[in-house]
Amino acid sequence: APISVKSVLISESVDPRCRTVLEENGIRVTEKQNMTKDALMAEIRDYDGLVVRSATKVTADVINAADNLKIIGRAGTGVDNVDVVAATRKGIIVMNTPSGNTISAAELTCALLMSLSRQVDLFSEMCLKKKVTFWFFMGAELYGKVLGIVGLGRIGKEVASRMQSFGMRTIGYDPITPPEVSASWGVEQMQLEQLWPQCDYITVHTPLMPSTVGLLNDESFAKCKKGVKVVNCARGGIIDEDALLRALESGQCGGAGLDVFVEEPPKNRPLVDHPNVISCPHLGASTKEAQARCGEDIALQIVDMVKGKNLVGA
């Protein structure tokens, strides 16, 4: 049955298309950013809907204070910042926008893979500090190397096609995507045991959940080729940070490109400061295009729900 949503609170910076689409469909929109938890708990009582990106922590306390709330919309993919169990218990629908960020996340992954092969970040910094007069450094081509893609959903697939155009061989693992499907886009699937020792580069594209916490740990690093380079543009903790640091220090891991950390902004200085680590502050989805898509998608999904159409998302 259609659900009545007359008012929506947008509690952080979401693309203006979100507000426009909601208002065009007769929904009243309020934007209030940087609220404290208490302020949010007081404010939320008045609204039927809440739209967030990733800064707003929609905890059980917030949800339980929200007497009229029917829908929580996440303009992005991961719903880690929403207590989905508490929301569901109260009959509140939680929606994400599962595809708006895909290309941006894939492109940043490719940028980190390329940076790792040629140390672009390091040389840029040295040029900036005018330290480079002559520097002997030998990079390596990506051409002909093996890329292991753990997680073959939307983002893993886009990373594969882009890196195939660089001449990389793409192998992968996913517990859901059938091997014949990934084979049709050029990714040979195999069990992780077989995958680790073949990779020159590994990139992870899974959600963070019990089965993916520490997917790369001391044991899996030990099975890898010496000097393997790894990228994480998914969620902090899929690559165990302590194991990664140990592998970087021993040379078992030759470099890491990290957009995400267990704690954000990252407090793990030994990891961030390691000379073979390239760090970004969770920028995978931070492009004009991705934000416009996610803002518009979440608004359209809410409007569809009000009109009684099919639900999309988590």
Residues at the contact surface with ligand MLT, assessed by CB under 6 A: 53-54, 76-78, 101, 284-285
SS3 state at 142: coil
Q: How far is the CB of 114 from ligand MLT (least distance, A)?
A: 21
Q: How far is the CB of 101 from ligand MLT (least distance, A)?
A: 5
Residue ranges of alpha helices (H) inside the chain are 16-24, 37-43, 60-65, 84-89, 102-118, 120-128, 154-164, 179-184, 192-195, 218-223, 241-250, 269-272, 288-306
Determine which one of 28, 154, 246, 282 is catalytic. 282
- Edge-to-edge strand ranges of the sheet holding 277-279: 188-189, 169-173, 146-150, 201-204, 228-232, 253-258, 277-279
Q: How far is the CB of 54 from ligand MLT (least distance, A)?
A: 3
Q: Which residue is nearest to ligand MLT (CB)?
A: 76
- Is 205 annotated as catalytic? no
Determine which one of 141, 193, 264, 289 is catalytic. 264
Measured from the CB atom, the residue of 105 and 171 that comes closer to ligand MLT is 105
Cβ atoms of 164 and 175 within 8 Å: the answer is no
Determine which one of 19, 235, 274, 293 is catalytic. 235
Q: How far is the CB of 94 from ligand MLT (least distance, A)?
A: 13
Q: Around 3, how many Cα atoms within 13 Å sit in the side-chain half-sphere?
A: 20
- Is 235 annotated as catalytic? yes
Q: How far is the CB of 104 from ligand MLT (least distance, A)?
A: 9
- Among all chains, which residue has been given the structure tokens 């207590």? 83
Measured from the CB atom, the residue of 54 and 206 that comes closer to ligand MLT is 54
Measured from the CB atom, the residue of 74 and 145 that comes closer to ligand MLT is 74
- Among all chains, which residue has been given the structure tokens 């594209």? 205
Closest to 144 in 3D by CA, of 193, 202, 227, 200: 200
DSSP string, 164-183: HTTT-EEEEE-SSS-HHHHH
Measured from the CB atom, the residue of 97 and 117 that comes closer to ligand MLT is 97
Measured from the CB atom, the residue of 266 and 284 that comes closer to ligand MLT is 284
Q: Which residues are catalytic?
A: 235, 264, 282
